[in-house]
Amino acid sequence: NPPELFGYVAEQLGKHGLAYLHVIEPEAENRAKYKINGETVSPTRHLKSLFNGTIITAQGYDFASGTAVVESGDADLVAYGKLFIANPDLPARFAGNASFNEPVVTAFYGGDEHGYIDYPTLEQVNKANA
């Protein structure tokens, strides 16, 4: 019973003054999957209601969905893992509504720099296309 188990853990952790609880959501298409008191809610919303502190959520968020989860009050912050690895200037891309580099997930955390630290910045892409 994940809602009960993780809810209990979040509630207990909230009693210890932790700086934050980092929640890794299921993939985007499965986000709203907990039934709590007849309401379908995301794991983040459920844990936010029980944890006495900052909630950081992650897993497949883009600018719109990340903004929505914070504005809804379900989370305080959003972590952008894969999207940040592939786009070292992610805040600038968000601000300019620019396109994103596609992450090469198979190259993460192993091998050489290919697909991990060699993604072009938006400035580099614009210079190359000029």
d(CA 44, CA 64): 17
- 71-to-22, 29, 109, 126 alpha-carbon distances in Å: 18, 20, 32, 32
How confident is residue 31, by pLDDT bands cut at 50, 70 and 90?
low
How confident is residue 23, by pLDDT bands cut at 50, 70 and 90?
very high
- Name, in order, each residue with C-beta under 8 angstroms of 30's C-beta and a sequence gap of 6 or more: none
How confident is residue 22, by pLDDT bands cut at 50, 70 and 90?
very high
